[in-house]
Structure 1
Amino acid sequence: MRFIIEGTGGFTAVHGRRINMTRGDVILTPTWNWHDHGKDGSGPMIWLDGLDLPSFVHFPVHFVEHYKESRYPAENVDTSSSPIVFPWSRMKAALDSVQEDYVVKRYLRGDGSEVSKSLGGCAERLNAGKKSPMVQETASSVYHIIEGSGYSLVNGEKITWKKSDTFCIPAWYTYEHFADEKENVYLYRFDDKPLLNALGFYRTKDTSSECLATAHV
Structure 2
Amino acid sequence: MPKNRNQIIELIRNLRAKAQNAASSESETIAASQAAARLLMQHDITEAELAQIGREGMKIGGFDEGRKLLHPILKRAWFGISKLTETKAWNDQGTLRFAGLESDVEMAVYLAEMIQSAGERSWKTYRQSCRRAHRLSYMLGFGTTISNRLKEMADQRNDARGTGTALVVQKAAMIDELLSETSTVLVPRRKTKTRVCTDDYKAGGNAGSKVNLGRPVGRQAGATARIA
Q: Shorter-chain-normalised TM-score: which range?
A: under 0.3
Higher helix residue share: 2
Greater relative contact order, per chain length (Cα 8 Å cut-off, separation 6+): 2
Q: Which has the larger radius of gyration?
A: 1
Q: What TM-score, normalized to structure 1?
A: 0.24
